[in-house]
Structure 1
C-alpha cells in the first residue's frame, strides 16, 4: 500500500481542523475514554501526542487524565492551531514541530504515547515505532489508533458516506483512502514485538479502526 501523502499547507490544515472539530464527541472523546481506561493510575504523567494534528485527542484526554502534554507534528500550521486551542483548555503543554518518524523528544522522557491515524501516512512504520519505544520511559505505555484495512468494504463505504453527509466531501475521501491504505494490525504487532514492546494488545472499537496498546 502507498502512504497517504497530503500537502499540509495552511489551507489543508485549516480545512482538516475545521472538519475534525465536528468529530470531537463521536470520535476523539470515544478514543480519549479508551486511552484513559488503559492508563488509569499513572499520577500526572508526561504524554506525547505523536502526529497530534489539531490536538483534539489530547484536549479530550486531558479532561480525564491531567498531566504534561507534548504536542508533536511535522506541520507548523497544525502545531500553531493546537497551540491556539490549548489556550482555551486548562492544559500543561509544550509544542514541537517534528516528524512522527523521529519525534524531537529525549530518550525515556514520557510515560504515555498516543498516536492516532499516523501509521497509514508513513512510508514505513519501523522508524516511528522504534522512536516511540525510545522516548518511552520503562513501564510506559503506547496507545495506537489506526485504520483497519481488513474491515468490511461495505462498512468503509457507509462510514465514508456518513462523513460526506456530516462533515465534508474531503473528509469522506480521506476516510475511504485510509481504509485502502491502512496497515494491518498484524504487521504492526509483529514489528512492535521485534522492537521489544511488551504486553501488546489489539482490540477493535470502531469497524474501521484498531486500537493497539503495549508497554516498554
Structure 2
C-alpha cells in the first residue's frame, strides 16, 4: 500500500538479516507496491515471495501475482500458519483497524516466524514541533474530504507511535520486539541541542507522576514508555520493528 524509500527497504532487510535465520522460507510482503522490496529480498535471501496489496496495478514484477485485500475491511486471504516471514512497510498508517491486521499477521505466520514492519515516526523532534505549532504530525497533514491517494501521504489516516505499535504487537501475541530506525533526520538533529535537557527533566517528572498517581506505568511497560524519548525515536525518520511469533 505505502510506497517505501530505498532507505526503508535497506533497514527492513537489515532487520530480517538480524532476526530471521532460517532459509529457505515462505515470505509475504503486505503492501508490496511496485515489488521493489520483494526484488531486493530475493537478491539477499533464499525465499519464495508472495504479495498482497489493495490493488495489483502497481506491481512491476511479471512473475509476482498480487492477492488483493482491503485490509481496513477484510482479513488476510491466507490460511493459518502459511508464512515463515512477513514484511509490511509503510502500511499500518493507511489502515482503519491496524490492530486487527496485526492479529491477522500473527495468524498467518508459522510458529517461530518473523514479522518486520515500518511506520512513519511521529515522535521525532521535527514531528513534535510541527504538531505543537500546526496540530498535525509530520507526514500526517490535513486530509482531503471524500478523496485521497491511498498509496501516498494523503492516505495516512492513522498516526501510530512506537509505544502503541509495540503494545499492539504484544497484545496480538508477538514477542522479542526490537525497535530501530532507518536513518537520523537532519531537522530533528538540529532541534536536539536546545530540547535535549528539557525533555530529560520533564519526562522524568511526568513519568514519576504516571507511576505514582495514575498507575499507568509498571515493570511490564516501562521499557516501552522510556523508549519514546530515546535518541533513536527523537531523531529517527522511520520506525522499523522486528518481532517473532511464539
Same fold, judged at TM 0.5 (above): yes
5+ long unaligned stretches in structure 1: 1-7, 9-15, 161-170
Q: Could you tell me how far 1:37 is from its partner in structure 2?
A: 3.1
Of 44, 62, 77, which residue of structure 2 is paired with 1:104?
A: 77
Larger radius of gyration: 2
Q: Tell me if structure 2 keeps the 8 A contact 1:48–1:69.
A: yes
Distance 1:156 1:111, change over 3 A: farther
Q: Could you tell me how far 1:122 is from its partner in structure 2?
A: 0.8
Number of paired residues?
172
Q: Could you tell me how far 1:211 is from its partner in structure 2?
A: 1.1
Of 1, 4, 12, which residue of structure 2 is paired with 1:31?
A: 12
Q: Could you tell me how far 1:76 is from its partner in structure 2?
A: 3.0
Distance 1:181 1:153, change over 3 A: farther
Matched residue, 1:135: 108
Whole-Å separation in 2 of the counterparts to 1:98 and 1:119: 14
Of 44, 64, 77, which residue of structure 1 is paired with 2:24?
A: 44
Which residues in structure 2 correspond to 1:51-66 (within 5 Å)?
51-66=31-46
Matched residue, 1:124: 97
Q: Could you tell me how far 1:54 is from its partner in structure 2?
A: 1.2
Of 77, 82, 99, which residue of structure 1 is paired with 2:57?
A: 77
Whole-Å separation in 1 of the counterparts to 2:85 and 2:100: 18
Query: 1:70-98 CA deviation, whole Å, 9 max, x = no partner?
Result: 110011312xxx2xx323xxx7x443112
RMSD of Structure 2 on Structure 1 (CA): 2.9
Q: Tell me if structure 2 keeps the 8 A contact 1:74–1:97.
A: yes
Whole-Å separation in 2 of the counterparts to 1:48 and 1:105: 10
The structure with higher relative contact order (CA 8 Å, sep 6+) is: 2
Of 59, 62, 66, which residue of structure 2 is paired with 1:95?
A: 66
Q: Could you tell me how far 1:177 is from its partner in structure 2?
A: 8.2
TM-score by length of 1: 0.69
Q: Tell me if structure 1 keeps the 8 A contact 2:12–2:117.
A: no
